[in-house]
Amino acid sequence: MPPPPSAPPPAIRWTHVFADRPRPREEAVRAFWAAVTGSTVSPARGERGEFATFLPPGTAGPSVKHRTVADGSGWAHVDLCVEGVPGFVRHAVRAGAEVVSEERGLSVLRSPAGLGLRVVRWAGERTPPPVVDDERLDQICLDIGPAAHDRELAFWAAVTGWRAAPTTQPDFHRLRPPPDCPCGSSCSGSTTSSRPAPTSTWPC
C-alpha cells in the first residue's frame, strides 16, 4: 500500500460531477438535473451527442454535467480541474490511484476502491452556481464498503488535500476543502460512507 504524499497536493481549482446514465433515460435525466439545478442544458456534443453541460444563469461556472453511456445501469464520476494535469496525476498515483487512460489535457484514474475519476485542465471557472429554492448541489457521497472505507478516505484526503472530519453519524466522514476554495460541486465537502454496499457507487 503506497503511503500518502507528504508534500501539499496541487490545488484543485474546480470540480465537475458527471451523471453517467443509459441512453433510454437521456432526456428525462437531463430535464431532471436542469430543473434541480435551475440551469439550462447545453447543446449536445461528442460523436454521438453523449455529453451535455448544465449551464447556470449569469457568469457562474457549470459544475454538473451529463454523459450518456451505452452499457450498464449508470453511475457517476467526478472531474478534478487543475492547472497542471501531469503533475496532479503523478501526485494521485503516489496517493494510490491507478491510471486507466490518458489523452491531452485529461487523465482517467481509478481510486483504490475502484471509483473512477478524471483529472482535467482547469478552464478558468471561479463563480459557484447560485442557490435554487434554498438549495445548492455542492457535495457528493461515496458509498464504500467497511473493509475499504479507511483506505479510501485516506486516499481522497491525500489527493484533494482536504481535511477529513467525522460527522455525528459514525459511518460517515466529511472532506472539508479550504475556505478559499472556489471549486464547484464538491466544494462544500464530499462525504464518505462506510455502510455495507455490494459495489462502490457515486450516488449523484
> At 99, which CATH number?
3.10.180.10
Return the higher-pLDDT residue of 194 and 184. Answer: 194
- The CA–CA distances, whole Å, from 141 to 7, 25, 114, 162 equal 26, 22, 15, 15
4 located within any domain? no
pLDDT level of residue 197 (50, 70, 90 thresholds): very low
pLDDT tens digits for 68-86?
A: 998 877 888 999 999 999 9
Determine the pLDDT at residue 4. 54
Say whether pLDDT at 136 is over 60. Answer: yes
Return the higher-pLDDT residue of 148 and 184. Answer: 148
88 located within any domain? yes
Determine the pLDDT at residue 187. 45
Q: Compute the average pLDDT of residues 28-47.
A: 94
Percent of the chain with pLDDT strictly greater than 70: 85
pLDDT level of residue 202 (50, 70, 90 thresholds): very low
* Other CB atoms within 10 Å distance of the CB of residue 177: 19
SS3 71: coil
CA distance 100 to 14: 22
Determine the pLDDT at residue 189. 43
Return the higher-pLDDT residue of 138 and 56. Answer: 56
Pick from 99-108, 113-122, 136-145: least confident:
136-145
Which residues touch 62 (CB under 8 Å, ≥6 apart)? 16, 39, 53, 54, 55, 56, 125, 129, 184
201 located within any domain? no
Closest CA to 204 of 32, 5, 4, 12: 32
* Other CB atoms within 10 Å distance of the CB of residue 196: 11
Determine the pLDDT at residue 6. 58
Task: Give the domain extent around 180.
Answer: 14-127+138-193
Total structural domains in the chain?
1
200 located within any domain? no
Say whether pLDDT at 3 is over 90. Answer: no
3 located within any domain? no
pLDDT level of residue 30 (50, 70, 90 thresholds): very high
106 located within any domain? yes
C-alpha cell at 119: 483529472
198 located within any domain? no
* Other CB atoms within 10 Å distance of the CB of residue 104: 7
Determine the pLDDT at residue 2. 55
Best-predicted range by mean pLDDT (32-41, 141-150, 180-189): 32-41
Closest CA to 183 of 114, 148, 142, 137: 137
First CA to last CA across the chain, in angstroms? 29
